[in-house]
């Protein structure tokens, strides 16, 4: 009996549903009749965009054949998709064209306000989701009540983060402003932010991470993030000319808050950087993708995730943890917190003060009363 195997794959940085089988003209011709199913020379199989909807289409299309369809590798994806589908049951599937055009205009308006690309993408995304919700409910978009209902159904019930809820409120307020509604007309209460301490990697853990990395480009990128205390957006926006090896400084241009600043250029990092530059020869940006342009945030996250796994570090560290670790280790070495504030580009010393709560040196000075019992 002919057998078709369905599993997931990556095609041009997108998740796809791969349709694999031993070469067979009958199956091939049958699949070619199905809309949106394409052939990949790279994957050597047919594929379609990965979604539960497309999986159902494939199943429905193949059910009248006598072929065996093996989807055992998709069980985890199916379960997660069903949960997400249940969450999104209060949203319409497609945004009507008139609202798509409105979102495009909103996006241009946000860019004209000189907001960062990440902020614009977030605001447009949350607004699109909100529009899907309001249209399904068939209510006025510009109503505080429907905003509150959305917060409950889409954010509170699925236990999405307070940070996401605040992003949503900010995005919606901007959309309302774009449509001519003043801020004081929108009475939406913001939840208080959770006060979480940053995840800090010890110096030994940092060493372990770098010892596991064999790819020179990956090592250079993570070394830069830690040695200069950069945000990932700042690192991937760096141009070659921003590295000042004579003054041993890095020029960070128009970072968060539209501010320029200088931070440290490590002499040990310069050695890694020179090796990297000779090997990869970047043209404009210090770190570039395979096809040119800026290196992607997603690729950088994967580099750290793989390094943490190989170093057997179980902490839920992110790229930002390298920045946190840089600041904490400086503080532990006795660096004045005002200098750390400047290096990190914090507007307020209150933001930098959080590192005083996680330094080993300050905590070790406290004598534990339990030790006096024995």
Closest CA to 253 of 280, 223, 209, 286: 286
Catalytic residue among 11, 160, 251, 256: 256
Rg from Cα positions in the chain: 25
Q: Is 262 part of the annotated catalytic residue set?
A: no
Strand partners, 7: 18
Catalytic residue among 132, 174, 219, 323: 323
Residue with tokens 């205390």: 229
Buried b (16+ CB within 10 A) or exposed e, 79-109: eebeeeeeeeeebeeebeeebeebbeebbeb
Catalytic residue among 231, 285, 295, 329: 231
Q: Is 355 part of the annotated catalytic residue set?
A: yes
CA distances from 321 to 96, 231, 258, 301, 361 (A): 41, 10, 22, 11, 19
Q: What is the DSSP string of 32-93?
A: HTSTT-EEETTTTEEEEE--HHHHHHHHHHHTTSS-EEE-GGGHHHHHHHHHHHHHGGGS-S
Q: Is 277 part of the annotated catalytic residue set?
A: no
CA torsion angle 22 26 29 32 (round to 10): -50
* Both tokens assigned to 117: 């690309």
* Both tokens assigned to 128: 């699109």
Assess contact for 107 and 120: CB atoms under 8 A. Answer: yes
Q: Which residues contact 102 (CB under 8 A, 6 or more apart)?
A: none
Q: What is the DSSP string of 298-350?
A: HHHHHHHHHHHHHTT--S---HHHHHHHHHHHHHHTT--HHHHHHHHT-SSHH
| Total count of residues recorded for the chain | 374
Q: Is 231 part of the annotated catalytic residue set?
A: yes
Catalytic residue among 123, 154, 285, 355: 355
* Residues with catalytic function: 231, 256, 320, 323, 346, 355
């Amino acid at each position: 009996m002919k057998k078709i195997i369905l599993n997931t794959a990556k095609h041009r940085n997108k998740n796809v549903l791969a349709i694999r089988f031993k070469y067979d003209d009958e199956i091939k011709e049958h699949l070619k009749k199905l809309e949106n199913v394409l052939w990949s020379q790279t994957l050597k199989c047919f594929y379609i965009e990965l979604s539960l909807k497309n999986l159902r289409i494939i199943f429905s299309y193949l059910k009248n054949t006598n072929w065996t369809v093996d989807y055992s590798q998709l069980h985890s994806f199916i379960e997660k998709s069903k949960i997400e589908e249940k969450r999104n049951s209060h949203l319409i599937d497609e945004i009507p064209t008139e609202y798509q055009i409105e979102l495009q205009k909103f996006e241009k308006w946000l860019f004209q306000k000189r907001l960062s690309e990440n902020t614009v993408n977030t605001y447009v995304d949350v607004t699109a989701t909100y529009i899907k919700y309001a249209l399904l409910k068939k209510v006025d978009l510009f109503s505080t009540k429907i905003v509150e209902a959305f917060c409950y159904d889409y954010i509170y019930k699925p236990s999405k983060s307070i940070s996401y809820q605040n992003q949503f409120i900010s995005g919606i307020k901007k959309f309302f402003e774009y449509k001519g509604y003043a801020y004081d007309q929108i009475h939406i209460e913001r939840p208080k932010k959770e006060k979480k301490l940053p995840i800090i990697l010890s110096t030994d853990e940092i060493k372990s991470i770098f010892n596991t990395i064999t790819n020179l480009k990956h090592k250079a990128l993570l070394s830069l993030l830690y040695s200069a205390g950069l945000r990932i957006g700042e690192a991937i926006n760096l141009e070659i000319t921003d590295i000042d090896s004579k003054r041993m400084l890095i020029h960070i241009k128009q970072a968060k808050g539209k501010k320029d600043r200088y931070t440290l250029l490590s002499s040990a990092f310069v050695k890694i950087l020179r090796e990297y530059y000779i090997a990869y020869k970047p043209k404009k940006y210090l770190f570039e993708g395979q096809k040119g342009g800026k290196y992607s945030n997603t690729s950088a996250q994967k580099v750290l995730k793989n390094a943490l796994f190989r170093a057997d570090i179980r902490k839920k560290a992110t790229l930002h943890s390298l920045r946190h670790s840089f600041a904490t280790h400086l503080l532990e070495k006795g660096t004045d917190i005002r200098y750390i504030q400047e290096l990190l580009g914090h507007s307020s010393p209150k933001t930098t003060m959080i590192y005083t709560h996680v330094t080993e040196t300050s905590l070790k000075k406290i004598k534990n009363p339990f030790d006096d019992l024995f």
